[in-house]
Structure 1
Amino acid sequence: MALLRFNRSKATLLRDGGATVIAMSARVVVFGATGYTGARTAEALVSRGVRPVLAGRDPGRLAALAQRLGGLETAVAQVTDRASVAALVGRGDVLVTTVGPFTELGAPAVAAAADAGAVYLDSTGEPPFIRSVHERWGPVAERSGAALLTAFGNDYVPGVLAGALALRAAGEGADRVDIGYFMTGLGKGQPFSRGTLRSLAGIATQPLYAWRDGALRTEPAGARMRTFDVAGRPRPGVTIGASEQFALPRIAPGLRTVDVYLGWFGRASAAVHAGARIAPLLSRVPPRATATVADVLTRRVPSDPAAHALAGARSHFIAEVFDVTGTLLARTRLTAPEPYAITADLLAWGARRAAEHGVHGSGALDAVAAFGLDDLTAGAAEAGIVEEN
């Protein structure tokens, strides 16, 4: 097992007006706290006794949020300015960012964290950015002692956890893992934030990746489609790039295939799958033009999802492990609340855990590598992610 990096003295508990506050030597900085996901993450941190620094470009909105959350420290900074971000974090500090689209705005923050030797967590679900963190910034972080935990939310910690649990149950002989992401119980109204839809639109034409024949391969989104049994019904999903293609082969080096299926499109999954045939042509469109189109498509979408659309929603994560003959060796089913609650609670748990105890290893890490499977299972349960009965 890798050495524990960023190990700090244990946090102390202070009493402040009857509330318990954790005093840590590691600083926790939240970028994007005035946005929907960022505000929920800051709230989740405060509920765990952590007093993060709220960072962003609008001092008025930062001050209002800081006051609402109990008088937190604020810092005016630009997430797209590497030096501006670097001024906020030092070695062993924890930087949490929810500012997207990450493929357009995320590089300066992850670069600053990697240079500083900090612990970095983000809320991205964008496969091209995840790949760049692992392949571009991971080696930088290994040299500096930083730990980069990209996609540390609903995208894609639950699937990594489900896959790791299924691999442990399967034992030897695992050849393929299929992961499925689904939601049920959505009410009427918009269930996604503008930022989520903007990110999906922005990556629709970009080349993604898969773990095939024991190596990372480039391929378009939706290249494959299959159904999973979700809450007693067959539901389709289409393949996407995610964290699992990096994480699960580390856990089981003999894996030949890791496929991650997104089941949010319902009946439209077939159209997404068919669209994969023309994706190579669309990928020739310059990224700036794609971003402009994405802006136009989402401009009139409300910034926050509709609360009533998410009120009764449940998330489902399924991992199935097969041997080389296609025989099912193990299946793990996890269920959880709606995606934004998952992301806020996971980011808050991961940031607090890293600030108090550090993480295992350095470089671009996944959640299992950083915290260990048993501790991650317990942390996920705090976020409501549990095995289905």
Structure 2
Amino acid sequence: MPKIVLFGATGYTGRLTAEALIARGASPVLAGRNGAAVEKLAADLGGARTAVADVTDPDSVRALLDRGDVLVTTVGPFLRHGRPALDAAIAAGAHYVDSTGEGPFIRTVFELDDEARAAGAGLLTAFGFDYVPGNLAAGLALREAPTATRAEIGYFVQSPGTSGGTRASMAGMLFESGFALRSGRVVAERTGARLRTFDVAGKSRTGTSIPGSEHFALTRSYPNLRAVDVFLGLPPLAAQGLHLGSRLTAVVAQVPALKRGLDEALARTVKGSTGGPDADARGRTRSWVVAEARDDAGKTLASVTLAGGDPYDFTAAIMAWAAETALGGGLLDAGSLGPVDAFGLDALHTAAVRAGWNRHPA
């Protein structure tokens, strides 16, 4: 009988996702590389099936899955550790959901569309705070302005905490190239190449350009789109620093030996699986996503702001919903899917509201 497998269950995001799945009444198989830790987590959660798998042994990951299963993976950084789970899902004909925010890995998933379709697998990458709310907000704005040809999306977090896994992923992305949608095609563009300000709940906030899933996903549901930009909110000085530093990181990225050495040094220095903000800290966090639909001249035709709480809580809740929905046959297609074309705009909107995200002002 098809099942949900949660790989990386003992990590910070993994544990939150396990809790969210069980709260929904699901019966996931909890999987990780440390058998004792997985068994303890299962006991803490009142009992669950467990399995041991490690990305250094891809066959052990493949052994987790049968056709029709749903694999939810939080094992990152995905550029270093994500491919075994992705390959295992396609090989098994299983659906796949991950929590990455790493642009180059997102691109890899979308490049596997043909293989996933042939296998009957639905691949849902970046299915958390990175980058579901932006896809949703843009979809709502584009519904109001169907003739729009441009979308600009900004992510903003107040009082954020970060997990060890998030810091490791950010470090791993430092010298990777970015991208953007231009003239209907995804093209290379430096992360941090663009700056702009957004009106966020009555306050002006600065964002710097980043690669996201919106660049690949939105044109599938909104083929009129010719340009997409995604921005991450940062304090103005930090945004300016990333903008100026992006030229240096682009130079480093062109020197393979130097890039490899710096990547290896960062991997040794910035460790994942070191915990994250506790429930009280997450309860103080507030987040917003702004999406603007524009015409060719840059005129804003529609704007939608979504407001919610902690990114980790949302990620756990929305991945649990996606896994259960996929298991129940709720995916609208196979292949590499964006949030809107995977489930439809209305179903996605309802799920986000139930996860605590609403339009602002209400």
TM-score (norm 1): 0.89
Structure 2 matches for 1:1-389, cutoff 5 A? Answer: 25-135=1-111, 137-172=112-147, 174-184=148-158, 186=159, 191-283=161-253, 284-286=255-257, 288-299=260-271, 302-305=274-277, 307-389=279-361
The alignment-based identity, stated in percent, is: 48
Report the alpha carbon displacement of residue 307 of structure 1 after superposing the two structures with TM.
Answer: 4.7
Give unmatched runs, 5+ long, in structure 1: 1-24
Report the alpha carbon displacement of residue 266 of structure 1 after superposing the two structures with TM.
Answer: 4.5
Change (3 A) 1:199 1:348: same
CA contact (8 A) 2:168 2:272 kept: no
Report the alpha carbon displacement of residue 118 of structure 1 after superposing the two structures with TM.
Answer: 0.7
CA contact (8 A) 2:106 2:125 kept: yes
> Using the alignment, how far apart are the partners of 2:63 and 2:307 within structure 1?
39
Q: Deviations 1:200-224 (Å, cap 9, x if unpaired)? A: 1111111111001221101110010
Which runs of at least 4 in structure 1 moved beyond 6 Å after TM superposition? none
Change (3 A) 1:140 1:301: closer
Report the alpha carbon displacement of residue 301 of structure 1 after superposing the two structures with TM.
Answer: 9.8
CA contact (8 A) 2:208 2:234 kept: no
CA contact (8 A) 2:5 2:72 kept: yes
AA aligned to 1:194 is: G
Q: Deviations 1:115-154 (Å, cap 9, x if unpaired)? A: 111110000000010001111x222111111110010000
Counterpart of 1:13?
A: none
Report the alpha carbon displacement of residue 289 of structure 1 after superposing the two structures with TM.
Answer: 2.4
CA contact (8 A) 1:56 1:79 kept: no
Report the alpha carbon displacement of residue 299 of structure 1 after superposing the two structures with TM.
Answer: 4.4
Change (3 A) 1:134 1:29: same
Change (3 A) 1:301 1:91: closer
AA aligned to 1:281 is: V
Aligned-residue CA RMSD in angstroms?
Answer: 1.6
Give the match's secondary structure for 2:96: strand
Change (3 A) 1:332 1:368: same
Give unmatched runs, 5+ long, in structure 2: none
Counterpart of 1:19?
A: none
Change (3 A) 1:151 1:265: farther
Change (3 A) 1:271 1:129: same
AA aligned to 2:251 is: L
AA aligned to 2:332 is: H
The alignment of Structure 1 onto Structure 2 pairs a total of residues equal to 359
> Using the alignment, how far apart are the partners of 1:167 and 1:342 within structure 2?
23
Report the alpha carbon displacement of residue 306 of structure 1 after superposing the two structures with TM.
Answer: 5.0
